[in-house]
């Protein structure tokens, strides 16, 4: 899809100025989502739903940390019955936090859960549709038959939600699109949108409107495109399709990688005014998700809005389909950038000098170009004469946005890319306002801000080099730079992990297992490994992964190559070793480099 072909779709009223998307309000118990309400922070219990005391304890801890909505898995009708005891335990403790039942595969579980919780999440890909990974062509009649069956399964829940005053999330997952949708629309953001809209049309046909949408994926590019496409379609359908949006990157992982991937997906959409409630999915104890989500909301609230009145050139990129901006190749200080070259990592002279004595020990986090020596041209993209001067050059020039101007980085670099001739490579910055030594933001804030600003632009195809100025520590700023490039899928320099958060469905200890897998495979540059506690979100979540380690039954692991299960029911204590064997079988293994002892 080219910019011209998608010009009729608009997901954002102004790509160069922040405006929050206006929605109707969805009430979840006493908590309003959308409208003029603040962006709500939520999380999900990792405790077994059958253990009411453990669930109540964990939920109270989440609420104490600032969680406003708590989700609980309900795998079967019998398990869903225990939601009553969880609800009663929380209310007895004086806690009125709304509860959400997470439903996959089992309409009867949803019908039981809706009695006890304030909101039900359904996944259109597996609520009623068949999922046998069958490849076939559907006639219009066959397609209509399956839609009618799905509708018959879904309508009773809609009517019960309406009768009881419950809310609903129509939550599409990239990894679990139904065979019907896959064969009609493919494994695409458009397929995700169409899957959700089918359910929304059924709800609206019964005058039920207390719902919201989500479009989750483990790949931030796919996730961003899907949400943008959803909002564009809602806008095209009419003003009364103004339903709120739940944001999340599913299976983001842990540590800095999980936080960066979440910030790229969630933060970039918040910066465009999209999103009314968020959940950060980390492979960590759920309570650690809350401060990250709160920081993302805070970062979004600090967006600078000045200076772009009347600056509305058509975008040079297609917001609904990733393609890297086509700059000319340029050699800067002996390093090639632009064109088909990898995106380069810049640093300042001060930081270079601080790490120069240990460059050989920095491994994959080495600085490549010093900005003061690069000849980069810094300009204000609002000043047409400055842009025209660069465009008049017959040769390619490296260009960036000047520091200190009253623009948000995302808006400033979008404007630069829209006005600048494509041949000129662009150096991205995380911030246009250098932090003072006396008032330096916390590391998490620097990390999330950099990931939001630089990651969003990379996912738009903008940027041939990056520099992180918001973090003053030289080593940390370089690590952030490279990890953003990795999470955005721009420059793969280490093993990539798709790791889901724990929940009540998880069939093994995700945190300890993920660390064991990292210890054995962390040296495999460019290999992508999915670690999932169960297969509920579907093998499609492993579409970009080379190998998968998935809980198949208690104590048993299934191993995947891509989306195909190839080894079944492996005892958990053997599974990591068998994963290594599988990687070797497919010629993706290299031995880890020898560790040199310090002298």
Query: Tell me, what's the pLDDT at 454?
Result: 98
Instruction: For residue range 179-194, list pLDDT tens digits in order.
Output: 888 888 888 899 999 9
Q: Which fold has domain 496-585?
A: Sulfite Reductase Hemoprotein; domain 1 (3.30.413)
Assign 130 a pLDDT band (cuts: 50, 70, 90). low
The class (CATH top level) of 26-301 is alpha beta
- Rg of the chain on CA atoms, in Å: 24
Domain boundaries, the chain: 26-301, 330-487, 496-585
Those residues with Cβ within 8 angstroms of residue 101's Cβ, 6 or more apart along the chain or in another chain: 71, 72, 73, 74, 80, 83, 109, 110, 113, 114, 116, 117, 119, 120, 121
Mean pLDDT, residues 540-559 taken together: 80
Which of 102-116, 194-208, 247-261, 501-515 is predicted with the least confidence, judged by mean pLDDT?
Answer: 501-515
- pLDDT on residue 596: 41
- Please tell me which residue, 18 or 533, carries the higher pLDDT value: 18
Torsion of CA 562, 564, 570, 572, to 10 degrees: 40
Average pLDDT over residues 500-522: 77
Q: Give the tokens for residue 273.
A: 């005014």
H-run or E-run covering 278? strand 277-278
Residue 307 has pLDDT above 80, yes or no: no
Q: Could you read off the pLDDT of 90-100 as tens digits, one per residue?
A: 999 999 999 99
State how far the Cα of 158 lies from the Cα of 164, in Å rounded to an integer.
10
Please give the average per-residue pLDDT across 291-301, as a whole number: 89
220-237 and 189-205 are packed helices; what angle lies between their axes, rounded to 10 degrees?
Answer: 40
- At 7 the pLDDT is 47
| pLDDT for the residue 332 | 96
- Tokens at residue 412, please? 């400033």
Residue 545: what pLDDT? 81
Stretch among 37-51, 241-255, 537-551, 561-575 having the lowest mean pLDDT = 537-551
Both tokens assigned to 290:
């809350």
pLDDT band at 2 (very low <50, low <70, confident <90, very high): very low
Report the share of the chain in percent with pLDDT over 70: 91
User: Cα 492 from chain centroid?
Assistant: 17
504: helix, coil or strand? coil
């Amino acid at each position: 899809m080219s910019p011209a072909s998608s010009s009729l779709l608009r997901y954002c009223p102004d790509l160069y100025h922040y405006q929050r998307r206006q929605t109707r309000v969805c009430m979840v118990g006493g908590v309003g989502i959308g409208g003029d309400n603040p962006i709500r922070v939520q999380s999900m219990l990792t405790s077994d739903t059958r253990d009411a005391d453990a669930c109540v304890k964990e939920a109270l801890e989440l609420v104490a940390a600032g969680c406003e909505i708590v989700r609980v898995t309900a795998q079967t009708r019998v398990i869903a019955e225990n939601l009553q005891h969880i609800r009663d335990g929380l209310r007895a403790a004086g806690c009125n936090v709304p509860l959400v039942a997470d439903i996959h595969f089992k309409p009867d579980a949803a019908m039981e859960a809706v009695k006890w919780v304030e909101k039900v999440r359904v996944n259109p890909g597996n609520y009623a549709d068949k999922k046998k990974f069958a490849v076939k062509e559907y006639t219009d009649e066959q397609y209509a038959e399956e839609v009618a069956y799905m509708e018959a399964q879904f309508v009773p829940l809609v009517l019960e939600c309406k009768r009881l005053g419950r809310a609903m999330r129509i939550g599409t997952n990239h990894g679990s699109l139904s065979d019907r949708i896959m064969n009609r629309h493919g494994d695409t953001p458009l397929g995700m949108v169409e899957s959700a809209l089918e359910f929304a049309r059924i709800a609206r046909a019964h005058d039920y409107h207390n719902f919201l949408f989500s479009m989750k994926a483990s790949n931030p590019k796919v996730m961003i495109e899907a949400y943008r496409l959803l909002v564009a379609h809602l806008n095209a359908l009419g003003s009364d399709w103004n339903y709120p949006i739940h944001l999340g990157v599913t299976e983001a992982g842990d540590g800095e990688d999980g936080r960066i991937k979440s910030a790229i997906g969630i933060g970039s959409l918040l910066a465009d005014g999209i999103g009314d409630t968020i959940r950060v999915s980390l492979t960590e104890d759920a309570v650690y998700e809350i401060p990250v989500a709160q920081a993302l909301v805070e970062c979004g609230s600090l967006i600078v809005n000045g200076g772009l009145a009347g600056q509305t050139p058509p975008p040079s990129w297609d917001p609904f389909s990733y393609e890297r901006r086509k700059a000319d190749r340029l050699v800067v200080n002996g390093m090639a950038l632009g064109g088909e070259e990898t995106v380069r990592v810049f640093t300042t002279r001060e930081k270079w000098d601080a790490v120069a004595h240990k460059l050989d020990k920095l491994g994959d986090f080495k600085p490549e170009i010093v900005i003061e020596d690069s000849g980069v041209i810094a300009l204000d993209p609002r000043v047409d004469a400055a842009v025209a001067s660069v465009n008049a050059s017959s040769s390619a020039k490296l260009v960036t946005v000047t520091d200190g101007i009253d623009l948000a980085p995302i808006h400033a670099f979008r404007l630069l890319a829209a006005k600048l001739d494509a041949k000129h490579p662009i150096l991205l910055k995380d911030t246009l306002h250098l932090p003072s030594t006396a008032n330096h933001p916390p590391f998490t804030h620097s990390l999330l801000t950099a990931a939001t600003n630089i990651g969003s632009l990379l996912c738009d195809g903008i940027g041939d080099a990056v520099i992180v100025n918001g973090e003053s520590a030289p080593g940390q700023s370089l690590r952030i730079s490279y990890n953003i490039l990795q999470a955005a899928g721009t420059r793969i320099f280490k093993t990539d992990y798709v790791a889901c958060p724990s929940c009540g469905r998880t069939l093994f200890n995700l945190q300890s297992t993920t660390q064991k897998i990292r210890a054995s495979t962390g040296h495999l540059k460019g290999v992508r490994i999915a670690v999932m506690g169960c297969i509920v979100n579907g093998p499609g979540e492993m579409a970009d992964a080379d190998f998968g380690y998935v809980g198949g039954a208690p104590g048993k692991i299934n191993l995947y190559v891509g989306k195909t299960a190839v080894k079944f029911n492996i005892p958990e204590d053997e599974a990591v070793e068998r994963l290594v064997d599988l990687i070797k079988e497919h010629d993706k293994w290299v031995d880890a480099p020898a560790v040199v002892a310090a002298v």
